Structure 1
């Protein structure tokens, strides 16, 4: 396998020289005769310098200038009767132009990204004009003659402005396209991170809850051991003590796992996100889920309140769980409505679907661990831990969750109310 091109700057410099030389042959002659040629070579060279700023500008200018001198001399020898000396004298000013242009561009090399495109075009035009002056001075010194008049200088300046603004405009368009590709990739990675963080948060939440349960089980088991020991039931007391020690070991192992997962969550999930971004991600991920299930579901979002929150991962966990349940509740085709608004000091999230609703007798049991109304084709029940998980997280935020049927939608509406101060990022 060959090395990537960007690891071989000398090859890139040579390519710049070759393409610039070829582009320079597409030219216009604004003045009488062939004393001064304005071609696409300078535009191509400027574009290359803007795009390949990792290259050493001075070396690039020298190589390009020397190559163009040799290239044009070779063409003259092939199609004219000029001698090598006369041809090199004729074209050495072009070599000076590219070297001076590269030197002047190296002065602004580190500030290109800070220039507004209009300012960059003006600066490049000035560099072009100064390089042209050095080219004219070289022609004067080498050939001894020049025939420029004031109106021709004005025309030369206009050409320089048009040429540099066209090139910098093209460069800006390429830069914008590159930024869009980078942003698209960043958004993709952000979606992966959010999905990962949301799922991991749920696991961390339940692991922390399980550790609390293990702690209580350890205490209860130890109390049982002491009671049996006081009753002089040696055999059973030793057995209970062994069980207590095993529970304690499981608890310590769980704590070590929790510590590692917590660090991972803290490293992967940072910053904040607006509520609108949370809803957008929820809809996008569950749209993919609906497509995977072969369901035609339309999602609608409505926000009357939108602020940044650092608690976006637990909120994503809540809304993803409820929205995924809504997707599963809809048979083949339907609509899911997500709404966010503030009411007094509470922020309210609702997830409403057209899936048929929740039976009255199931509402009180819906958030209990292990309860489910979902069965697969073989009659095997789902775990039913999702909604109990949602309720636990809502309680963590000192909020509340309710479920009712929504006749206007034809399904169920889950409503989460959380104190705004628990969510809103402090300014």
Structure 2
């Protein structure tokens, strides 16, 4: 669902829920359930701006109440005028909520309760103040107690809703993980048989290489020239057989991963959670002093989650390798932005960076700057090459890199929305 459709749906839900209310303090001062719906909706949809949402909601509820009043009693300007302070209530609620959560990447339940309580109480104070100043209502101290109690009740209601939805989502996610795990076990079993044939072919490849070298030696030393053509024909025949067997393996793997076990797709927020969990486990396992975070601009649904995850995994793994194992303050951040008709993904680290002379070669197959001088192991250098190929040829996008030696690296990926999003 697009952000606009989600916003409209939220406004409708909140507006309708405003019809469930209790009149307290004054005849036209209502404690409605709308704020419970609004608070819950904003916490569950962080991509929706609280300010924009609250402004639209305030206008929508004002119009809705005026229409109901007109149908029931006709147009009464004094009554419709008394609804105006409620507009400021919703706007202040959204503003306070926005200020408190705007810099938070994740929100725990306790903080959500504090934010809703403060937002609700502050908004009610503003509304009461307007009514006292401009509508000549009488102030008494018990008002503050009433307002605090109502804010407390509504905040607890929002808290309960968030907890229920959180555990419901966890239940769904656990069920989905179990299904995926069973698929994974079955796929692994089948792939093991395919790997057997690949291992068997490795022996054949070594035999062909040996025969080829022997033929080279015979040609070089001019030995047995009458048998050269026969040996060359045998080598060609062996290579052809190896090729046929690898074609069968590739076809078998393709059928397994693409046809027999099609996945329905995933939301980006779920991809983010799985990726974050995996990376945090790796940080703990390797005892790294690294802060890893993911910042999402919006959510979308895709059936290309495997490819997307593969891109992120390669880039983040590269970022891990660029960081010093013992350096404090090491950070890796995956940032998502929705810009026009494109999704932009950035993987940023504050590691060792890449030399300017190497930047133009980092996407070349086999190129690597990662050498372990203690073991002599060198990275095979296929990760970034595959990432570039997948971004450009599979997603029809582009990848850019900016890096400063000793300061860090930023990979930026631009993917057209039509190539990645799926409507459900």
- Normalising by the residue count of structure 2, what TM-score does the alignment of the two structures yield? 0.50
Assess, with a 3 A threshold, how the Cα gap between structure 1 residues 125 and 242 changes in structure 2: closer, same or farther: same
**Aligned pairs, number:** 255
Q: Where does residue 106 of structure 1 map in the other structure?
A: 98
Contact 1:121 1:168 in 2 (8 A): yes
The equivalent residue for 2:188 is 197
Residue 93 of structure 1: how far off its partner (Å): 0.8
1-structure distance, mates of 2:71, 2:224: 115
Distance in 2, matches of 1:108 and 1:22, equals: 27
Equivalences for 1:204-283 in 2 at 5 Å?
204-213=195-204, 215-216=206-207, 219=210, 234=226, 238-251=229-242
Equivalent in the alignment of 2:171: 180
Q: Classify 1:214/1:52 alpha carbon distance in 2 versus 1 (closer, same or farther; 3 Å).
A: closer
Please give the alpha-carbon distance, in whole angstroms, between the structure 2 residues aligned to 1:195 and 1:243.
38
What value does the CA root-mean-square deviation take over the aligned residues?
4.1
Residue 23 (structure 1) aligned to one of 12, 17, 21: 17
When residues 38 and 196 of structure 1 are mapped into structure 2, their CA distance, relative to the original with a 3 A threshold, is same
Alpha carbons 2:57, 2:90 under 8 Å: kept: yes
1:83 equivalent in alignment to 2:76? yes
1:123 and 2:115 correspond: yes
* Conserved? CA contact 1:77–1:83, under 8 Å: yes
**Deviation for aligned residue 1:138:** 1.7
| Aligned equivalent of 1:7 | 2
- Contact in 2 for aligned 1:118/1:165 (Cα 8 Å): no
Query: 1:165 matched to which residue of 2?
Result: 156
Is 1:70 aligned to 2:48, yes or no?
no
SS in 1 for 2:117: helix
**Is 2:51–2:94's contact at 8 Å kept on the other side of the alignment?**
yes
The question of whether the paired residues in 2 share the 8 Å contact of 1:215 and 1:251 is answered with no
Name which of 27, 39, 53 aligns with 1:34. 27
What is residue 290 of structure 1 aligned with on the other side? none
Query: 1:310-354: CA deviations, max 9, x gaps?
Result: xxxxxxxxxxxxxxxxxxxxxxxxxxxxxxxxxxxxxxxxxxxxx
CA, structure 1 residues 50+112, in 2 after alignment: closer, same or farther (shift >3 Å)?
A: farther
Where structure 2 has 5 or more consecutive residues not aligned to the other structure, the ranges are: 254-274, 282-424
Shift of 1:116: 2.7
Change (3 A) 1:183 1:233: same
Alignment partners' CA distance in 1, 2:214 and 2:142: 104
